[in-house]
Every structure is written in C-alpha cells, then in structure tokens.
C-alpha cells in the first residue's frame, strides 16, 4: 500500500513538472516583464564562439529561467522559502538592512568589457567635441554597509578605475559624490535605480567635471508624486513584505519642450507622465520610459549635449535642463543611428556617455558608438 502511494506521488509530481515544461514550450515567449521592468532573455543564438566559451549554456539557463510559465508566482514562493530557511538573498537580490533590497553585481565578462572600452576610445577620436564618461555606482557599492555580512558583489571601484584609465574620455567621479551622501535616500529601496535626490548629486558631479555651475538643492521644493512604487528588485526578489518607495520630483516642467521618439517618428513628449503612476512601472513617470531618442529643449542658456545612456538618465534629465539648452538622450539598446553622424548633424557641443556600472559591465550595444 505504501509503495503504491509513493508511486502515485511520484507520477503526480512528474505530471506536474511535465505540465510546466509543456506549457512553457507551448506558450509564446514574452519579450518584456512588466513586473520586473526589464527585457526577458530571448532564445539564444548558437555560435561557435558562444559554444566554446560556455556563454551559450549560460544564456540558455537565463532564457529558461525567464520564460518559465507562472514565473512571478514561483519567485514569490521561492523568496518565502529562502527567508524561512535563513538565507539572505533570492534571485540575486540581497535582503539588506532598513527594509532595503539590493541587487548583487557580478564580476564582468572581461572580454566584453575590453570591447566596450575600446569602442569608447575609438569614438572619442571620431568626434570633434569633448566626450565625458561616467559610470554610476550601484547601491551594492554605495550602500555596501547595508548588505548582509559576507554578501558577494563585484568590486565596482576597481573595475571603474581600470576603465577610466583607458577610456580616452574626460572621466566623471560619480562614486565620490554619491558616497558623500550615502546616508540619504539616494537609491530606491525596492528598485535598482537612483532616486531623484541621487540624480541631483549625480548631476552636480557631471556639472563639476564640465566646469559648469553646480545646482543648489535649496533652490527646489520637492514634490512627492507617489508613495506606492515597488520596483524591479521587489519583483525579482518576490519580497512582498517590503514597504513601497516614494517618487519625488524637483524640477518643474515649465519652459521645457520634450520631443519623444518611440517608434521612429517624432511626437510631443513630457518631462513627467502622470498616467505611469497608475501602472506597475512607475519609474516610467520620468520621460514615459525607455525610448530610442528623446530631445529636451529648455530656456537655459547653455550648450547642446548628447547623452548616450541607460535608464538612469531618465530622472537625471530634468536637472540637466537647468544648464543645457538642449539635451539629446540616445539609447543604444533601441537606436541604431550613427552616434558620430548625429553629433555632427545636430551641432552637438559635447557628449556624455553615462551608464550604471551594472549595465556597462554587460552591455553588448557599445559597438554602435563607432558605426
């Protein structure tokens, strides 16, 4: 009787796993996760280089993890199990002090990083304007003291210094500026981005490097627009017990003209998009989210700047309108135009290459700098 019972349990379990596998195969792959606000891994392409280096199997593992059916539910169940068993992270998100979720940063692929910095160095020689390079440290670096004891994370400072020494650009020390204000609310507790306050300090580090007048925090009256933001780290960790973040703005929309380009056609945009506060990805409140190209014109008397960037620049852009007459935001993940041609054709005065350390470590689009 006991043997029959065990056999039945085994059969049911196998049917359950088989059903999950079949459903994951039959249901079309998703390209984007609204819950985690990120692109999901597509089915990887098999190449000789990827196979021999081991990258292909790593990408297959990431693909399988991203595309499994009912993924969000499994993440939440796993998170609860990890906490009950005394573990201090789930899905590479550390359960840090003060109800903070901090994403672990892995050591970079050195070959990819070498390619990226060589593309940047070549780009600085292609254009006839100053090129600035800034890497934004993650919360894992600036808030390292909040991490659980012994929590592993890449040494971002060492890698940043190595990249800066070979960039060929004018480097911007963002780490020192942010670490000087590490006791403040400069990163979201549930998301991987910096807050508007963190972006303010980042803006001043950029302005200082460019010999432009820095901003004064006392000139602003912060406005909290949401107290219910649950970001990407919250979704990845499945940490349903963590309280939400607030989103705050400092710079008003007055005197700003925004032109967005989501689909290859120009359309009127906004510095802030209130309707985004009603959906999961509230960070898209800034400039309506990821887009290939966005141009902001302000009433400031200042230079035109091209910012080749990731999403950290979305909440930085409002501060840049205080010192630049035009800010051209260029996202290589979606924009295949020639960066050097764009500089020449739009009379750009300076270029800022600005990425979070984590993004730059793994970005595979930097070759587009030298098209």
Give the separation between CA 340 and CA 367, rounded to whole angstroms: 12
Of the candidates 215, 129, 204, 218, the one whose C-alpha atom is nearest the C-alpha of residue 174 is 204
Chain centroid to CA 15: how far?
Answer: 39
Give the separation between CA 79 and CA 199, rounded to whole angstroms: 30
pLDDT at position 84 is 52
* Residue found by looking up tokens 């020689």 in the block: 125
Give the separation between CA 6 and CA 215, rounded to whole angstroms: 69
pLDDT at position 239 is 84
- Tell me the per-residue pLDDT of 135-174, one tens digit each, with 9 for 90 and over: 999 999 999 999 998 888 899 999 999 999 999 999 999 9
Chain centroid to CA 309: how far?
Answer: 10
In tens digits, the chain (371 residues) has pLDDT values of 555 655 556 665 565 545 545 545 556 666 655 555 556 767 677 687 667 777 777 766 666 666 565 566 665 565 556 555 557 888 899 999 999 999 999 999 999 999 999 999 999 999 999 999 999 999 999 999 999 988 888 999 999 999 999 999 999 999 999 999 999 999 999 999 999 999 999 999 999 999 999 999 999 999 999 999 999 999 888 888 899 999 999 999 999 999 999 988 999 999 999 999 999 999 999 999 999 999 999 999 999 999 999 999 999 999 999 999 999 999 999 998 899 999 999 999 999 999 999 999 999 999 999 98
Tokens describing residue 70: 């009912």
Question: Nearest-5° angle of CA 68, CA 70, CA 76?
Answer: 110
CB atoms within 10 A of CB 93: 25
pLDDT at position 85 is 55
Give the separation between CA 192 and CA 24, rounded to whole angstroms: 28
Tokens describing residue 20: 């999950």
pLDDT at position 20 is 47
Give the separation between CA 331 and CA 328, rounded to whole angstroms: 10
Of the candidates 286, 117, 71, the one whose C-alpha atom is nearest the C-alpha of residue 195 is 286
- Tell me the per-residue pLDDT of 264-285, one tens digit each, with 9 for 90 and over: 899 999 999 999 999 999 999 9
Of the candidates 114, 96, 99, 211, the one whose C-alpha atom is nearest the C-alpha of residue 150 is 96
pTM for the full model?
0.81
């Amino acid at each position: 009787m006991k043997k029959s019972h065990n056999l039945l349990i085994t059969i049911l379990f196998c049917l359950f796993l088989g059903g999950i596998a079949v459903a994951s195969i039959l249901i079309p792959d998703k390209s984007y996760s609204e819950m985690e606000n990120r692109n999901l891994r597509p089915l990887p392409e098999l190449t000789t280089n990827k196979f021999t280096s081991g990258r292909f199997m790593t990408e297959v593992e990431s693909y399988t993890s991203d595309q499994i059916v009912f993924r969000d539910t499994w993440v939440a169940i796993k998170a609860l199990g990890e906490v009950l068993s005394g573990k201090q992270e789930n899905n590479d998100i550390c359960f840090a002090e003060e109800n903070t979720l901090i994403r672990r940063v892995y050591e970079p692929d050195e070959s990819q990083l070498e390619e990226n910095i060589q593309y940047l160095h070549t780009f600085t020689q292609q254009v006839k304007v100053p090129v600035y390079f800034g890497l934004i440290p993650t919360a894992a670096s600036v808030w390292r003291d909040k991490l659980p004891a012994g929590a592993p994370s890449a040494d971002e400072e060492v890698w940043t210094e190595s990249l800066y020494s070979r960039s060929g650009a004018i480097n911007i020390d963002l780490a020192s500026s942010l670490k000087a204000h590490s006791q403040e609310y400069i990163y979201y507790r549930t998301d991987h981005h910096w807050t508007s306050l963190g972006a303010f300090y980042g803006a001043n580090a950029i302005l200082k490097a460019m010999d432009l007048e820095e901003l004064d925090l006392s000139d602003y009256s912060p406005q909290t627009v949401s107290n219910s933001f649950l970001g990407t780290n919250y979704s990845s960790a499945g940490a349903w017990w963590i309280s939400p973040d607030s989103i705050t703005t400092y710079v008003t929309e007055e005197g700003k003209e925004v032109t967005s380009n989501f689909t290859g056609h120009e359309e009127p945009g906004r510095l802030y998009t209130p309707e985004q506060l009603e959906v999961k990805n509230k960070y898209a409140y800034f400039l309506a989210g990821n887009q290939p190209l966005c141009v902001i014109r302000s009433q400031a008397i200042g230079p035109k700047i091209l910012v080749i960037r990731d999403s950290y620049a979305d909440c930085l852009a409002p501060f840049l309108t205080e010192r630049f007459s035009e800010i051209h935001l260029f996202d290589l993940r979606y924009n295949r135009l020639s960066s050097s041609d764009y500089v020449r054709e739009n009379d750009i005065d300076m270029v800022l290459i600005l990425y979070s350390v984590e993004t730059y470590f793994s970005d595979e689009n930097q070759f587009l700098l030298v098209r």
